[in-house]
Amino acid sequence: MLLSDNISPEYIKSLDLAGKKQLCDEIRAFLIEKVSGTGGHLASNLGTVELTVALHSVFSTPDDKIVFDVGHQSYTHKIITGRYEKFGTLRSAGGISGFPRSTESEHDAFIGGHSSISVSAALGIAKAMKLEGKPGNVVAVIGDGALTGGEAYEGLNNIGHDMGNLIIVLNDNEMSISRSKGTVADYLTRMRSTRSYYDKKEAVKEFLSHSSVGKEISKSLSGTKDLVKFAIYQSNIFESLGLKYYGPVNGHDVGKLIEMLEIAKITGEPCIVHVKTKKGKGYKPAELNSGEYHGIPRRYSRSAGSRSFSEIAGRKLAGLADNDERICAVTAAMKYATGMEHMAQHFPERFFDVGIAEQHALTFSCGLASQGMLPVFAVYSTFLQRCCDQLLHDAAIEKKHIVLFIDRAGLVGEDGETHQGIYDVPMLTGVPGTEIWSPFDEATLSMCIEKALNDTDGIAAVRYPRGACPSGGPDEYSDIYYSGKTSDTLVVTYGRLAQNVSGIDGADTLTLLKIFPIPEEAAVTAAQYKRVLFFEEGMRIGGIGEKFLYAIYERGFSGKYRITALDFPPAAADVETQLSRAGLDRESIVRAVNEEN
C-alpha cells in the first residue's frame, strides 16, 4: 500500500514508474470510496489521476505553480499535497474545499471555482515571477470544456514569446459537465482522430533523410512540417497563437505523460501539451454516464422520490413549449444539471447548448428574442454573474424579452464560497426593466414560470434553490402571500425561507412571490406595522431587504426594521448549517421574533 499519510510531492518523485502506476490505482480507488460518501466532483477527478501524478513527478510545488481550470479536477492534487488525512472532510463544515484555495495550502496557486480562468491567471503569475526574477514554471491545466469559454482565448491571445516558463496542459476528455459542444470541440476531435498527420510527418522525414537534396531540405524541416500540418489540419490553432504544440498523448499512461511534460519543461518556449483522458476513468458507472457522475451529492442527501426545482422547471417548460413554438431553451453546458434535457429530448431544434460560454448564451438569447422567439436561459446563479454587461447592454436597453431560469439560487451547501447563489439579486435589481420571481414550492414555481414567459416585456427571472421542491402550494397566483393582521410584528421573506416563517407565534408573515419590483400591496401592508423583520437568503447589501425598507418608508413606515441576511459567502457546509449560522433557520427566526416582543 503506497497511499498513506506520508504521501507528498517528494514521495511521488521517489517512486519508480511501476510504483507511480500502482499509486494511481490506489488513488482512484480512494477517490471512489471517499467522494461517494462526501459528495463532490467524481468523474472529472477520476480522469486526471495519472495526469496529476505526472505533474507532481515533473514539477515542484509551491515553487512551480499549477493552476487548475476548473478546480473540480484537483482532488488528486489535494491528496498529494498534504490533505490526505483530511480528505474525508471534503466540502463539509470546517473541512477542505472542493476547489483550490490559496488560503488552504501553499500548493494551491489560484482559486478555481469557475471555468476558463486558468490561462489568464497563469499568465499573470508567470509574468510576475519573471519580473521578480523568481525561478520556476507555471502550468495551467484546462479542460476542453473550459476551452469553450471566451476568457481562455483572451488569455491565449496575450501570451508572448518570452513566456518560456508557461505551460498549458489541455485535458481533453470531450466533456465539460455535459458533452462539449461547438466548433472548438469539433476541432479537437479532428486533432485527436487524425493520427495520419504524425504518420505523414515521419514519412516526410524518412524520405528526406535518404537523398542529398532531402538532407538540405531537412534543414528547413519546420517549414515542411508546417506545410504537411496545414494540408492535413488546416493549421493548428495553438501554434498559430505562438504556442509550441505537443500531443496528443494518452492521459492515462503516466510514463508517457512524464516524458511529454519533461520535454515541455525544458523547451524554453510557451507551449501546450494536449492530453487525452477519459472522464470517470476506472469506475464503470461514471465512464458510461460522466455527466451524471460529474458532481454527486452526499450520500442520502435527498428524500426518496422527491423532485428537484430544476426537474420540475424543465418539465414545465417542455410542456409549455408544446403549445408555443416560440419557446427555446439555452444552456451553458448544463443540460442535465438545469433540467433542460426535457427540451432537448422533445424539441431538439429549439434547444441550444452553447458550451461554457454564459456571456454568449445571454447575447444569443437576445438575438433569438429580437426575431420574436421566446428564449429561456437556464443557468446557475453563480454563473449568471458572468453576464452583467450582456444583461445591461444586450437585453435591457432595447427591452429584449428573455427569461432567466436561475438555478441554485441562494445557499448551495457543500459547493462552498465560489458557487453560492447570493449575488444575482443585487445584480439584477440594478438592471432596468427586470422583474424577478422567487417561488417556494411546486405550484408557485409553475405560476412564476407562466408569469415570466407571458406577462413581461423585458428581462424576467425565476430564481429557485438547489434540491427538493416541496409539493403542493396555492391554487391561484398572487404577488404576495399574507397571513393577515393579528400582531404588531411582521416577518417578511421570500423563496424557500417561506417554509421557515409560516405559523410563527407572535408575528404575522408576508411572503413575496414577486420580489422585484416590490409589489405595492406588500409595501402598503408592511408600513402599517410597528416592527418589520426581513429574512433574506442573499446578500444584505443590495438585497431585497434594503429595497423593501425604502419602499415602506416611502409609504409612511416609522417603526423598527431589521434585516437578517448575508454579508459574505459562507464556507462549505450543508445548507441547514449555513442557514443556521446566518440566522435564517426556523429556530433563529422564532428567537428573533421573541427577542424584541
Of the residues 265, 279, 316, 350, which is catalytic?
Answer: 279
Q: Which of 421, 376, 428 is nearest to 403 (CA)?
A: 376
Which string of DSSP letters, residue by residue, matches 350-390? GEEE--S-HHHHHHHHHHHHHTT-EEEEEEEHHHHGGGHHH
- Work out the angle at residue 33's Cα, subtended by the Cα atoms of residues 32 and 36, and round it to the nearest 5 degrees: 75
Q: Is-contact 568 460, C-beta < 8 A?
A: no
d(CA 333, CA 176): 7
546 is catalytic: no
Amino acid at 278: K
195 is catalytic: no
Going through 403-485 in order, the beta strands assigned E by DSSP cover 403-407, 435-437, 460-463, 480-482
Of the residues 174, 358, 414, 536, which is catalytic?
Answer: 358
Q: Which helix (H) or strand (E) holds 46?
A: helix 43-46
- Tell me the C-alpha to C-alpha distance, in Å, between residue 181 and each of 145, 174, 245, 573: 8, 9, 23, 33
Q: Which of 304, 287, 386, 379 is nearest to 335 (CA)?
A: 379
Buried b (16+ CB within 10 A) or exposed e, 512-522: bbbbbebbeeb
- Tell me the C-alpha to C-alpha distance, in Å, between residue 1 and each of 7, 161, 378: 11, 44, 46
CA 153 to chain centre: 18
Three-state secondary structure of 54-109? HHHHHCCCCCCEEEEECHHHCHHHHHHHHHCCCHHHCCCCCCCCCCCCCCCCCCCC
Q: Which helix (H) or strand (E) holds 531?
A: strand 531-539
Of the residues 78, 265, 386, 496, which is catalytic?
Answer: 386
Rama region for 252: left / alpha / beta (φ>0; ψ in -120 to 50; rest): alpha
- Work out the angle at residue 520's Cα, subtended by the Cα atoms of residues 515 and 525, and round it to the nearest 5 degrees: 100
Question: For residue 553, what is the DSSP state?
Answer: H
520 is catalytic: no
d(CA 94, CA 125): 29
Q: Is-contact 80 52, C-beta < 8 A?
A: yes
d(CA 588, CA 560): 18
The dihedral sign for the CA sequence 188, 252, 285, 39: negative
Q: Is-contact 144 160, C-beta < 8 A?
A: no
Half-sphere exposure of 597 (CA within 13 A, CB side): 16
- Work out the angle at residue 91's Cα, subtended by the Cα atoms of residues 87 and 96, and round it to the nearest 5 degrees: 50
Catalytic residues: 279, 358, 386
